[in-house]
Amino acid sequence: MKQKGLDGPLDLEDTLGEAFNKAGLRLMSLLLNLPGLRVPESAPRQGEVRAGTRACDVFTRFGHARVENRAYLYNKHAKKGRFPFDDALRLVNGATPALARRALECAAKEPFDKAAETLRKTLTPEMTPDLLKHLVRDAGRLAAGFFKTPPGASTPPSASCPPQTEHPACAVVMADGTGVPLRRKHLRGVKGRGPDGKPKTREAKLAAFFETTPVPGQPAKRAPHSTTHVATLERKAPFAELMRAEYRRRFPRAPELTLFISDGAAWLRGLRRTHFPHAVEILDFYHAAEHLTPLLELAGYAGKTQHAMRRKWRRWLKEGKVGKLIDVCRALAAGAGADAAQSWAKALGYYEANRGRMKYDEYLAKGWFIGSGVVEAACKTLIGARFKQAGMRWSRAGVKALLPFRAALLSERMDALWEYILEKRRRMNAA
């Protein structure tokens, strides 16, 4: 221990912190072991019998507190037992709610080893990566239904949520997908996109929802703190239901206008058609511009000439002159010969199929968004920053357990998710 005098290094705050932790742990142990402590719901329910007592360690803000003589009630017919003491404290895998809430937020922000180190420095001296993983696993099972619950039923009124307009002028919905690196055994049956067909990732699907008030002729702007996200490893149908549930929660009264912006993938076009038929569908402008490359290469443009033509054709797209672009390219294709016909047809087919979703001059004049940058950024922040760091290989269960916390964190809904988990545990214990 360093010297505590004023004439040497002074670690008074650190020393006090250690002392407070030790005193807090002693006090917690005394309180949890008070003789005659009244525990709610400790009387046997129908079919239950008293089956003795058990000791355990309760993981607290100050460390492990040993608890003796917890009553155990057992229902022989249901083959189910319970500890009223644990239920009353609302323990999560042996951790107090105060500790579990902070630990889960840290796990959503950082890799488990770094999150455990952060918690050891700032909250509890006994946190380990394994304990953190167990907390995420157990709480994750309860969190799975959070984003699927009907409007108004997910959390108590006291739970915090991003502010939202009662009847926004415009709701924007964006969706995309990005790969998550999984362990090999969790990729069986998944098709890869590489030449060998072997997968290295499994697609996580995610969506972003936010509000905007379009002003004709002005750049589109998001309403502050209005963005929320949902994410899943499931297939299209469950993802579509997840999106619709979040849309209904966010906008219980239908907005005057809803925009659905995506990269134009067939599965996303189908999702918009079945679950958001009222929305105006817009093809992300930047994906549309990227698809100019094969047309430019087929036309034989290269170097500075290609760069100049790209700028010209990109300007045509933004000006709503998709028809002009198609006509020019058809003329170029006609003179290219039969060998290149199939390549031209494929490259042009993208613009012909999406022509009705590329009225960018009209969208911009109305003050609408034309890019899906919000959800593409979420692919990097929500998924990439936590699940795709160097050397990471996840189990499917691990991703599914952590995704709700990651989505809630970036949606400013961690408090709401935590209240949902505690309420669900209370109802399960009361059943």
Q: State mean pLDDT over 411-426.
A: 92
Rg over alpha carbons for the chain, rounded to the nearest Å, is 28
Domain boundaries, the chain: 12-128, 170-284+371-412, 288-357
pLDDT band at 313; cut points 50, 70, 90: very high
Lowest mean pLDDT among 5-9, 191-195, 250-254: 5-9
Q: Give the Cα separation of 119 and 99 in Å (integer).
A: 9
For the chain, give the percent of residues with pLDDT over 70. 91
CATH of 170-284+371-412 among 3.40.50, 3.30.420, 3.90.550, 1.20.1630: 3.30.420
Q: Mean pLDDT across the stretch 353-370? A: 95
153 backbone dihedrals φ, ψ, rounded to 5°: -110, -5
Q: How far apart are CA 12 and CA 16, in angstroms?
A: 6
Q: Is the pTM of this model over 0.85?
A: yes
pLDDT of residue 189: 67
- The pLDDT assigned to 179 comes to 93
Residues contacting residue 132 through CB under 8 Å, at least 6 positions apart: 103, 106, 107, 112, 115, 116, 119
Max CA distance (Å), the chain: 94
What is the pairing mode between strands 228-232 and 280-283?
A: unpaired
Q: Which two tokens stand for residue 237?
A: 């149908």
In this predicted structure, what is the pLDDT of residue 157?
Answer: 41
CB atoms within 10 A of CB 402: 23
Sign of the torsion formed by the C-alpha atoms of 80, 83, 87 and 91 = negative
Predicted confidence band of residue 150 (pLDDT cuts 50, 70, 90)? low
At 21-59, the pLDDT tens digits run 889 889 989 999 998 888 988 899 999 999 999 999 999
Q: Any idea what the Cα angle at residue 29 is, between residues 23 and 34, rounded to 5°?
A: 125
CA distance 141 to 130: 17
Beta strands in 40-164 (DSSP E): 48-60, 63-75, 80-82
Q: What is the pLDDT of residue 156?
A: 46
**Using an 8 Å Cβ cutoff, are 229 and 192 in contact?**
no
pLDDT band with cut points at 50, 70 and 90 for residue 158: very low
State the Cα–Cα distance between residues 177 and 61, nearest whole angstrom: 38
Q: Please name every residue paired with 49 in a beta bridge, in sequence order, or none if there are none.
A: 74
DSSP state of 281: E
Q: Which of 55, 57, 68, 1 is nearest to 25 (CA)?
A: 57
Tell me the pLDDT band of 123, cut-offs 50, 70 and 90.
confident
pLDDT, position 301? 92
pLDDT at 261 over 50: yes
Task: Round to whole Å and give the CA distance between 333 and 107.
Answer: 54
Per-residue pLDDT at 1: 45
> pLDDT tens for residues 262-282?
999 999 999 999 999 999 999
Compute the mean pLDDT over every residue in the chain, rounded to the nearest whole number.
89
pLDDT at 154: 45
| Residue percentage of the chain with pLDDT more than 90 | 68
Q: Please give the angle made by the CA atoms of 224, 230 and 234, to the nearest 5 degrees.
A: 165
Across the chain, how many H-helices and E-strands are there? 17, 8
20 Cβ contact partners less than 8 Å away, ≥ 6 residues apart = none
Q: Would the pLDDT of 284 be above 70? A: yes
**Residue-wise pLDDT tens digits, 184-231:** 888 876 666 666 666 788 999 999 999 999 999 999 999 999 999 999
Least confident of 4-8, 22-26, 39-43, 292-296: 4-8
Query: Is the pLDDT higher at 300 or at 431?
Result: 300
- Report DSSP letters for 8-48, one per residue: S---HHHHHHHHHHHHHHHHHHHHHT-TT---TT-S--TTE
